[in-house]
Structure 1
Amino acid sequence: MKIAIAGGHGQIALLLARQLTDAGHDAVSIVRNPAHVPDVEQQGATALVADLEQLDDDELALRLRGIDAVVFAAGAGPNSGAERKLTVDRDAALLLADAAERLGVQRYVMISAMAADSYDAERAVVPAHSDADVFQVYLRAKAEADANIRARNLRWTIIRPGGLLDTPPQGTVDVGRTVPRGTIPRADVAALVLHALVDDLAVGVQFEVTSGNTPIPAALAALG
């Protein structure tokens, strides 16, 4: 498979690129900053320099020709303001879906956030004045992006991980529509994406995930 990863310089995206290439697939990592190209290439991926806040879906579709599936792993980052939570975490995800639909690419995997739908509507507005307010906008952005993807005629999977860790992969998880609050290594989130794509699992399923006791392929298979 040839898989495009939006947010290609993110920590999960870099891990996913390495896992995909090690498994014999082609990863195309979309990055905004040309300085990030060497980091992507070190993972065996091909870098595509493109700013998802500046392109339209026609331009992005032209650059993604030949892709079999797309992964949205982008994010505005912890130091960004409320407005970029919407333009990146929401709008860029929809742009990627628009481009995929133009290309006839049906497979779309979204990396979202646990409990995204629980945002406080009164605080999830722009402008926001505190870190807590910005986090509510982030949750709103994720929730609205997820809802939009669910409504499309795509073969989507929406993964909502708990707190992300930089620890070694465990390979076992707890999945469900909702699961208790917890953490998960970023490498295991990448492995979830890999198996969802390569084994064609969890299609049309949104789920939360933390570390647990079930091997990742079996956990995904149980979701349908």
Structure 2
Amino acid sequence: MHVAIAGGHGQIALHLERELAAAGHTSTAIIRNPDHADDVRAAGAEPVVLDLEDTTATRLAEAVGNADAVVFAAGAGPNSGAGRKATMDRDGALLLIAAAQLTGTMRYVMVSAMGADDGDPDSDDVFQIYLVAKGAADAALRESELDWTVVRPGRLTNDSATGAVELAESVDRGEIPRADVAAVLARTLEEPGTVGTTFEVVGGATPIRDAVRAIASGT
């Protein structure tokens, strides 16, 4: 399997690239800063330099190429303003939907956020604006004809991977290491039964492979 990852130098993306390489898959890391190319190569991915906030669906489709799947792992970041929540967290994801449609890459896995359907559209709070942006991106993906999965992690940490999670359509709020999110993404890409599912994930006691298989089988 070959996977194109938007936001390819993000922390989750770098973990995912290592997961994919270890499993014998290949990946393209779509990055904005050419100085990050060596980092993604070291993680096992091939870098393609492209700014998601300054490109077209056609150019992004060229970067995606003949990938079997795409992952949207890009984000404006916690210190960005309200404007970039729209141009990156929402519009970047929409652009990747359009690019996937152009290339015929049907499989699309979205890295979303817990609470993405609950953002207040009338609020000026940046976090609420972020949730609204993520919710809009998720809704557009679910309305597309792509083979989508929406993964909604809890509060992200840089703790070491545990290899175990709590994963379901809805879970109590909690934390999860970025490395474990990446492992969930990798297993999700390998499980066709996760197509058409939206699920939340936090740290827990169930081995990741078992948790993803359970959601894939509807149990």
Q: Any unmatched runs of 5+ in structure 1?
A: none
What TM-score does the superposition give when structure 1 sets the normalisation length? 0.94
Structure 2 residue aligned with 1:146: 138
Matched length = 216
Structure 1 residue aligned with 2:47: 47
The answer on whether the counterparts of 2:53 and 2:92 sit within 8 Å (CA) in structure 1 is yes
Root mean square deviation of aligned Cα: 1.0
Structure 2 residue aligned with 1:135: 127
Which amino acid is 2:130 matched to? Y
Percentage identity across aligned positions?
Answer: 53
Output the CA distance in 2 between the equivalents of 1:173 and 1:150.
24
**Aligned-pair CA distance for 1:121:** 1.8
Which amino acid is 1:43 matched to? A
CA deviation vs aligned residue, 1:135-175 (integer Å, no higher than 9, x gap): 11110100000000011111111000001111111111111
What TM-score does the superposition give when structure 2 sets the normalisation length? 0.96
Output the CA distance in 1 between the equivalents of 2:142 and 2:161.
29
The answer as to 2:161 corresponding to 1:176 is no
Q: Any unmatched runs of 5+ in structure 2?
A: none
**Aligned-pair CA distance for 1:215:** 1.4
Structure 2 residue aligned with 1:82: 82
**Aligned-pair CA distance for 1:199:** 3.1
Which aligned pairs between 1:51-62 and structure 2 lie closer than 5 A? 51-62=51-62
The answer on whether the counterparts of 2:64 and 2:70 sit within 8 Å (CA) in structure 1 is no
**Aligned-pair CA distance for 1:46:** 0.4
CA deviation vs aligned residue, 1:22-71 (integer Å, no higher than 9, x gap): 11111100100111111111111100100111111111112221211000
Which contiguous aligned blocks of 4+ residues in structure 1 show a shift greater than 6 angstroms? none
Structure 2 residue aligned with 1:14: 14
Structure 1 residue aligned with 2:100: 100
Structure 1 residue aligned with 2:213: 221
**Aligned-pair CA distance for 1:206:** 0.3
Q: Secondary structure at the match of 2:192?
A: coil
